[in-house]
Amino acid sequence: MKKVLLLSSLLVASQVSANELVINGCAIEPETQCPGVDLSGADLKHVDLTGADLTGANLQGADLRHATLKNAKIEKANLTKANLARADLRHATLRGSNLTEANLEAIKGWALFGQGGNFYKANMQGANLEFSRFSGARMQKANLQAANLEIAWMTKVDLTGANLKNANLQEAKLNGASLENVDFTGVRRHYATFQATYMEGCKGCPFGWSKN
């Protein structure tokens, strides 16, 4: 009987070991510590990287759809053209990261930290970014249609040419931001602040707003 139990335990251990995902020395699991790792083009759909440290990592073109990245530290990382559609990025830190043309459609980004990040042409349609922080970020030509940015801090963000149609910007802070040539139609903006915000060519900006 003891031999049977021991054999069963060994089989379970083998299965667990076989199911572990390790890429370039990085164990893909919660709380993993992999600063600077190369995960470019990796298939990471549905993985759990809660609390992971991926500072400076190369995630260019990685498939992170439906991944869990809550509280993850992904600062100064390369996420160019990465697919993060419907990923859970609540409380994640993306400060200074490059997300050029990344897909962030419908992500859970509540209280996400993206200060100084590059979101050029990123697709953030329908993303929940309530309470997020994007001060100083570059979001030129980004798609933020129907995104929830309520109470978001977006001071000095460059949104030139971005699509904000039907977005929720209630109580958001856009002081010193650029809304040049932005599609602002249907935006909910109750109690939002726009001090020294540049709005030349803005479509849908309320009559009487300052252009410079």
Under 8 Å between Cβ of 119 and 99: yes
Name the architecture of domain 28-106.
3 Solenoid (2.160)
Interval 11-69: pLDDT, tens: 333 333 446 899 999 999 999 999 999 999 999 999 999 999 999 999 999 999 999 99
Domain 129-212 CATH (choose: 3.40.50.1100, 3.40.50.300, 2.160.20.80, 3.40.50.10490) = 2.160.20.80
pLDDT at position 19 is 66
Distance CA 78, CA 100 (A): 9
Tens-digit pLDDT string for the chain (212 aa): 444 444 433 333 333 344 689 999 999 999 999 999 999 999 999 999 999 999 999 999 999 999 999 999 999 999 999 999 999 999 999 999 999 999 999 999 999 999 999 999 999 999 999 999 999 999 999 999 999 999 999 999 999 999 999 999 999 999 999 999 999 999 999 999 999 999 999 999 875 554 44
The pTM of this model reads 0.89
Residue range(s) occupied by CATH 2.160.20.80 in the chain = 28-106, 129-212
